[in-house]
Amino acid sequence: MRNQRIIPAVLILAGICIAQTPDGNALLKKIDENMIARNKIITSRMIIHGRRGSRTIESRSWIQGAEKSFTEYLAPAREKGTKMLKLEDQLWTYTPSADRSIRISGHMLRQSVMGSDLSYEDMMEDPKLENLYDAAVVGEDTCLGRSCWVMELQAKVVDVAYHSRKIWIDKTRYNVLKEERYAKSGKLLKTTVISETMQVEGRWFAKRAVFKDVLNQGKGTEFILESLELDADIPDYIFSKAALRK
């Protein structure tokens, strides 16, 4: 009789453990809901740690949903006035020294942005993870002193920059604190490590993070979020090719 009581108890406990592990695709929705807003205005710094030293680039971005974004580089002087416009699956850059706009497409999308560890392809990828990947929770861990779910993401579409990803997501804030991006072969391509977060209107965002292209010899690109305004009023003309030359 004693063994008969123990067995059901073990099964009940096992059922509780299973129930506590969330569905991976449901978590992707929560990540997207935390990250994507109707409109965002961002001021940031990007510190590129190359083999020969470091340099800092300052920029301001206007973002509408997941389809439109406009970025103007503010400093240093050499980069000031350079602009970038994304409209759904199209991307243009404007260089003041040449006074012309160029559409970035094809193999050019794999090129580095301003010599950083980020590519144009990274910037063009759909920010909604649920549109690109199927996910499964594979474990638990701790990042920045926060309890995280560890998730593995597998691409469910063909046209995707990274075939798979591994992410660490805060269990209660639903922001990503660490990430690894892989090629179809399983080779690690890029990593992201968050070192500081900030809360804006009840949402959590990375305030300081290091992106690293593991195929390059530099020490990574540090991203620092200086300010973030959610659901801001942005005039429509910002998201136009005419705005590149203003």
- pLDDT tens digit sequence for 7-31: 555 555 555 444 488 999 999 999 9
Q: Is residue 125 part of a domain?
A: yes
Alpha-carbon distance of 38 to 24, in angstroms, equals 24
Whole-number pLDDT of residue 178 = 98
Distance of alpha carbon 58 from alpha carbon 74, whole angstroms: 5
Count Cβ atoms below 10 Å from residue 63 Cβ, excluding itself: 23
Asked whether residue 191 is domain-assigned, the answer is: yes
> Is the residue at 9 inside a domain?
no
Q: Is 6 within a domain?
A: no
Q: Is residue 198 part of a domain?
A: yes
Question: pLDDT per residue over 161-208, tens digit each?
Answer: 999 999 999 999 999 999 999 999 999 999 999 999 999 999 999 999
Q: Could you give the angle at the alpha carbon of 238 between the alpha carbons of 197 and 75, nearest 5°?
A: 55
The better pLDDT of the pair 168, 88 is held by 168
Q: Is residue 203, in this structure, part of any structural domain at all?
A: yes
What is the domain count for the chain? 1
The two structure tokens encoding residue 13:
């406990």
Residue 195 covered by a domain: yes
CATH number at residue 153: 2.50.20.10
| First-to-final CA distance of the chain | 83
Q: CA–CA separation, 104 vs 184, rounded Å? A: 24
Question: What is the signed CA dihedral for 110, 128, 233, 229, rounded to 10 degrees?
Answer: -80
> In this predicted structure, which of 6-15, 85-94, 135-144, 159-168 has the lowest mean pLDDT?
6-15
Domain assignment of residue 190, yes or no: yes
Structural domain range at position 235: 24-245
Half-sphere exposure at residue 27, Cβ-oriented, CA atoms within 13 angstroms: 27
pTM for the predicted model, two decimal places: 0.86
Interatomic CA distance for residues 117 and 221, integer angstroms: 6
